[in-house]
Amino acid sequence: MNQTIRPEAGLAALEARVRRDLEMLQLPAKEWAPPLQRGGERVLDVAIIGAGMCGIAAAGALIFRGLSHIRLFEAAAPGEEGPWVTVARMDTLRSPKTLPGPCFGIPSLTFRAFYEAREGAAAWEALYKIPNAVWQDYLSWLIRVLGLPVAHRTRLLSLAPEEGLLRLHLATPEGERRLLARRVVLATGRAGAGGLAWPDVVPRALRPERAAHAYDPIDFGRLRGRSLAVLGGGAAAWDNAATALERGAASATLYVRRAQLPQINKGRGSAGPAYLQGWDALDLERRWQLIAYLHDMQAPPPHETVHRALRQPGFRIELGTPVEAVRAEGEGVALTLGGARPREVRHDFLVVGTGFRVDMDAVPELAAFAPHIARWRDRYRPPPGLSRPEMEAFPFLGPGFELTPRGPDAPPELGLVHLMNHGAFASQGSIASDIPGVAEAGERVARAILRGLVQAEWPAIRAALEAFDEPELATTPFFVAR
């Protein structure tokens, strides 16, 4: 750290600059949405589920547009929003440090401004990639400096239509609570559109004593001196193997179905404005060709993650080795392996690194809407050779990330729900999943909500215009034709 800068002094100066920037931009805009009461209850303009980077991006964009009667509901404790300091087990973010973050186009709100204020310009120049905990610090700083209204340790249990509004059923530290909102944004991360992918070959009864998902909380201290099997070759599989070995596991072996790891990160190649802003401008045929291509190419684990694992003497990887069956064996697990050397192996513990699934029927808070949500398979039939059932299960979203109806019997309130999580990928690209596009996602969702509220509340908005009576010529004589 630059010793001439105290972190608190640097941040205080930055926060003064933020206030100045917002004042010069006249942000936030004046509140304009007519207050809505229902049965003596004030209705939220927008409820945002999740206060991680997507929730922050949506909330800031809404508040800057004059929609201040919003609330973010976050299941985690303060400082633990998102995966960064809990289940994300890499050392640093995969993204380059130069990405601005959810800054709303304001330089003083970028990650770089935050880091330089806290650590100094020399530290910024020396920084290779952003450590997870530092990114979490930045997001927490955004919540504080923007004054975002976050209710922590609060989980959405269910969402249901109610006479043109949405009824939220929440679990809070004080007990269960129900409230109404005009719109709801589900900023619920990678697992928010169907949960964790768990392969059929691994009995669920093994979890948690003998097996865990790579995104489960894992007590790595229990694995000290023990043998670990990891199913999968993606980034999370490598991160969990490296973490276990660093914390004393005797060995960690990755079993990977592919004969060769992917080498090119096509996601990085599709992170520019053409993809982040133009994805949904493509017709369905071209969009599906792109979806299928990116699905097939997959992404390699970051080279930092690979070398981190390879440095550990107990690390092994077996490519071209599918796991065909798993069963309990003594206090551990037995894996039946296929491929060129079929055999059975035994380990003390198994980590399943098979990522996430998208299945709208498996999102508990959307149970009332799930049968009516359009999927891609409802709107587009791929040509022979391009069928990808996993991707066909993604929801088919509108331009503002809103759910769309499968049929005429869908409740009209369905379109008041905006899915700003991994489930948006097929319709909108990666802007609701990855750091490069999160600011664009927040802007697009906020713009759609503003337009929808203007339409819904137009009579009251027009009446407010007619009632506006601020005279321009209050101090000058009136001129009347004679």
Helix 111-119 and helix 132-145: axis angle, to 10°? 100
Mean per-residue pLDDT for 426-453? 92
Would you call 335 helix, strand, or coil by DSSP? strand
Residue 1 — pLDDT band, cuts 50, 70, 90? very low
Q: Which amino acid is at 220?
A: F
Q: Please choose, from the candidates 469, 380, 365, the residue with its C-alpha nearest in 3D space to the C-alpha of residue 427.
A: 380
pLDDT in tens, 146-183: 999 999 999 999 999 999 999 999 999 999 999 999 99
- Decide if 304 contacts 97 (C-beta within 8 A): no
Mean per-residue pLDDT for 26-46? 95
- Decide if 382 contacts 393 (C-beta within 8 A): no
Residue 268 — pLDDT band, cuts 50, 70, 90? confident
C-alpha–C-alpha distance, residues 25 and 420, integer Å: 27
- Decide if 413 contacts 162 (C-beta within 8 A): yes
C-alpha–C-alpha distance, residues 70 and 63, integer Å: 8
pLDDT in tens, 287-327: 999 999 999 998 899 999 999 999 999 999 999 999 999 99
pLDDT at 479: 65
Would you call 166 helix, strand, or coil by DSSP? strand
pLDDT in tens, 366-404: 999 999 999 999 999 999 999 999 999 999 999 999 999
Which alpha helices (DSSP H) does 25-162 contain, by range? 53-64, 111-119, 121-126, 132-145
C-alpha–C-alpha distance, residues 419 and 399, integer Å: 11
Confidence check: pLDDT of 344 > 90 = yes
